[in-house]
């Protein structure tokens, strides 16, 4: 069954031709990790995703976890850390705070420790001389700002010259079973809104000139895919009506709160390996 998805793992499961695609799995605690490397343009065309590395984490449901610990985020934190170059990092939360399933980016960005503005002498005096320089923005959406997300991030990138950009965004999945239970990290960039059929300008190393790491959690599934899944058929009468509908879990508020907490802790610990989670929380 085909359907709209941002997850490379789901695309791989539907792809018969896997030449130029390497994949491996490993388990870390309760987290199943799948690493997919798309190594050629031909492979990218077959998969329907740009060349690059895609890391998928299948985690316990966010809505079942009352508190996130350093043990919980170890697998995600380690993979983010491996992708980060040294130097200043720009973290950007993409999405719309007024639409709950799309609020993951800005809610996560609000919990990232920004340090770029702290002068070196103050860092020295308070014992934070080892912290990495981090800048954080929440871009909003074109309909509210009148500015493309890609334009805002490009402007900020030119101004502060980061070593890399980390993007956080909500994703779409083909399976309701993945909502709030899956995280994807990629180094291939992103086209905001593509998961809900509203693709905007690409944000990638090609457009920014620096590495781009995207991190997301699926929060929606399109109604046609869900109906096909429920009724085990791709032939739905009146299916055109489903094309414009997006479905999200009833506990989406809790899912976004918990997912943003999980991602922010993972990103903060990857950005600041010399600080503990408790120290980061204190500084925030």
Looking at residue 34, its pLDDT comes to 96
Looking at residue 168, its pLDDT comes to 97
Higher-confidence residue of 185 and 14: namely: 185
- pLDDT(197) > 70: no
Looking at residue 257, its pLDDT comes to 95
Q: Helix, strand, coil shares of the chain as percentages rounded to 5?
A: 40, 25, 40
pTM of the model: 0.90
- pLDDT(238) > 90: no
- pLDDT(182) > 80: yes
* Token representation of residue 28: 């870390």
Looking at residue 2, its pLDDT comes to 58
Q: What is the DSSP letter of 179?
A: T
Higher-confidence residue of 136 and 190: namely: 136
The residue written with tokens 């399109």 in the block is: 222
- pLDDT(118) > 80: yes
Higher-confidence residue of 284 and 66: namely: 284
* Token representation of residue 252: 């989406």
- pLDDT(260) > 90: yes
Q: In percent, how much of the chain has pLDDT > 70?
A: 88
Question: CA-CA distance, 13 to 5, in Å (whole number)?
Answer: 12
Higher-confidence residue of 189 and 167: namely: 167
Helices (H), 110-251: 120-125, 142-145, 149-160, 205-208, 223-231
Looking at residue 195, its pLDDT comes to 45
Q: In percent, how much of the chain has pLDDT > 90?
A: 65
Q: Which CATH number fits domain 8-283: 3.40.50.2300, 3.40.50.1450, 3.40.50.300, 3.40.960.10?
A: 3.40.50.1450
* HSE-up (13 A, CA, CB side) for residue 151: 8
- pLDDT(239) > 70: no
- Delimit the domains of the chain by residue range: 8-283
Looking at residue 13, its pLDDT comes to 86
Average pLDDT, the chain: 89
Higher-confidence residue of 173 and 236: namely: 173
117-146 mean pLDDT:
91
Looking at residue 64, its pLDDT comes to 78
Question: CA-CA distance, 7 to 186, in Å (whole number)?
Answer: 10
Question: Residue 11, Cα to own-chain centre: how many angstroms?
Answer: 17
* Token representation of residue 81: 């850390």
From 108, 93, 203, select the one nearest 148 (Cα to Cα). Answer: 203
195-217 mean pLDDT:
84
CB neighbours of residue 3 within 10 Å = 18
35-45 mean pLDDT:
94
């Amino acid at each position: 069954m085909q359907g709209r998805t941002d997850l490379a793992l789901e695309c791989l499961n539907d792809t018969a031709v896997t030449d130029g695609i390497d994949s491996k799995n490993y388990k870390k605690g309760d987290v199943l990790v799948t690493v997919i490397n798309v190594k050629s343009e031909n492979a990218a065309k077959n998969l329907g995703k740009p060349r690059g590395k895609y890391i998928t984490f299948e985690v316990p449901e966010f809505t079942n976890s009352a508190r996130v610990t350093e043990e919980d985020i170890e697998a995600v934190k380690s993979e983010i850390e491996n992708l980060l170059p040294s130097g200043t990092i720009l973290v950007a939360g993409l999405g719309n705070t007024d639409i709950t399933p799309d609020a993951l980016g800005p809610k996560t960005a609000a919990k990232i420790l920004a340090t770029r503005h702290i002068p070196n002498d103050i860092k020295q005096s308070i014992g934070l001389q080892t912290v990495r320089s981090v800048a954080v923005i929440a871009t909003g959406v074109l309909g509210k700002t009148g500015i493309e997300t890609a334009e805002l991030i490009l402007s900020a990138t030119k101004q502060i010259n980061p070593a890399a950009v980390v993007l956080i965004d909500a994703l779409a999945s083909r399976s309701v079973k993945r909502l709030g239970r899956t995280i994807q990290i990629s180094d291939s960039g992103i086209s905001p809104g593509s998961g809900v059929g509203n693709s905007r300008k690409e944000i990638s190393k090609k457009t920014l000139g620096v590495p781009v790491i995207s991190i997301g959690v699926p929060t929606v599934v399109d109604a046609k895919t869900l109906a096909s899944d429920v009724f085990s058929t791709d032939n739905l009468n009146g299916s055109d009506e489903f094309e414009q509908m997006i479905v999200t879990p009833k506990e989406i508020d809790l899912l976004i709160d918990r997912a943003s907490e999980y991602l922010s802790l993972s990103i903060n610990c990857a950005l600041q390996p010399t600080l503990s989670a408790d120290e980061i929380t204190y500084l925030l």
